[in-house]
Chains A and B, each alone.
Chain A
Amino acid sequence: MDKHETLSKMERKLFSNNFQDGFIDLLFSAVFLQTALIVFISRLTEDNFWLYLSMSAVSLIFIGGAFLVRKYITAPRIGYIRFLRKRRKTTVAFLILDILVLAAGLAISFKIINITSIINPGIYTILPIAAIILVLFTLAALAFNILRLHIYGWIAAAAFPFGKWLDTLTGSRYALPLLLLTVSILMLGISLIILILFVRRNPSREEDKYGE
């Protein structure tokens, strides 16, 4: 029993270590940056669908970059690992749940918050957004077994009501978006530091030479 538990823990640690290269951090930072940019732009200008869409492009560039970094820089250093079927199923289940929460969250948000209230949301309309973000991060943290994602989730979720409170306190309409932008840039910065440290700690291995 003990041995089995130890092997299970080893497998769990191995799986978690597989994502300690900043890849997941970069993905979630990019999504949060997009949210922050949309809130920021919405307060700067009138409703502009194309402007919101261009903000998605910013986030897509970061997401694409994260995948390229993973493929060409970190994955060759980690090596190829095909995890056991049970682990793969659990991870996929968590990710599907994450997507469902996001979809349900968006649907609920659009039902209770219209675009005008996003531009100047009340504290009670902003709380569901914070809750959705917290659930998204928590599910991802559980799927990849990364503690940092729990912390990101709490900080990102807390930024919404705190930013709204700052809005009221300062009387400025930019307090909330600036706080969200600061949090997302902080998350991106941490992701990049994790990536740089990973690359420095794990020397590049030449292409698999085994058997040559």
Chain B
Amino acid sequence: MASNKKEKNNISEVLSELDRVIHSPARLMIMTYLYIVEAGDAVYLMNQTGLSWGNLSTHLSKLEEAGYVSINKTFINKKPKTVIELTDSGRKAFIEYKSKMKEFIGLTD
């Protein structure tokens, strides 16, 4: 009984420690697709996540506010491109989020 209560507390604790910025499905997709590459543009993210320009823009703004992504306007082949990449803190946050989720799944299994 006591062990059950302790486990429940642990589950709540782990859940409360989950990063709310990453936890949204759309932002989690964006973070995942940025994590597996060095950088990508908006077309790449739209293709992979299925999000519209508007949705993508909104979620990227939130991730940028949290300091997880950097958005840079640059020229590639003489064409303007918006290149998005995870910052160091974004990579750390994603790894941390993964380990918290693993911990949560481990506790609930």
Report the minimal beta-carbon distance from A4 to chain B, rounded to whole angstroms. Answer: 9
A211 touches B36 (CB 8 A): no
**A11 beta carbon closer than 8 Å to chain B:** yes
**B102 beta carbon closer than 8 Å to chain A:** yes
Within 8 Å by CB of A14, from B36, B43, B53, lies B36
**B8 beta carbon closer than 8 Å to chain A:** no
Tally of chain B residues near chain A (CB < 8 A): 32
**A200 beta carbon closer than 8 Å to chain B:** no
Known: A80-B83, A211-B82. Contact between A205 and B37, CB under 8 A?
no
A209 touches B53 (CB 8 A): yes
**B14 beta carbon closer than 8 Å to chain A:** no
CB neighbours of A84 from chain B (8 A): 36-38
Smallest Cβ-Cβ distance to A12: which chain B residue: B36
**A111 beta carbon closer than 8 Å to chain B:** no
Report the minimal beta-carbon distance from A123 to chain B, rounded to whole angstroms. Answer: 48
CA distance A11 to B55 in the complex (A): 24
Number of A-B pairs whose CB atoms are under 8 Å?
78
CB neighbours of A211 from chain B (8 A): 57, 71, 73, 82
Smallest Cβ-Cβ distance to B98: which chain A residue: A3
**B22 beta carbon closer than 8 Å to chain A:** no
CB neighbours of B83 from chain A (8 A): 80, 82
For residues 57 through 86 of chain A, which have their beta carbon under 8 Å from a beta carbon of chain B? 71, 76-85
**A207 beta carbon closer than 8 Å to chain B:** yes
B40 touches A80 (CB 8 A): yes
Smallest Cβ-Cβ distance to B82: which chain A residue: A210
Interface residues of A (CB under 8 A from B): 3, 7, 10-11, 14, 71, 76-85, 202, 205, 207-211
Interface residues of B (CB under 8 A from A): 32-33, 35-48, 53, 56-57, 60, 71, 73, 76-77, 79-83, 85, 98, 102
**Residue contacts A-B, CB under 8 angstroms, 7 given:** A7-B36, A78-B43, A78-B44, A79-B46, A80-B76, A207-B79, A207-B80
Closest 7 CB pairs of A and B: A79-B44, A79-B43, A210-B42, A80-B41, A11-B36, A82-B39, A210-B82
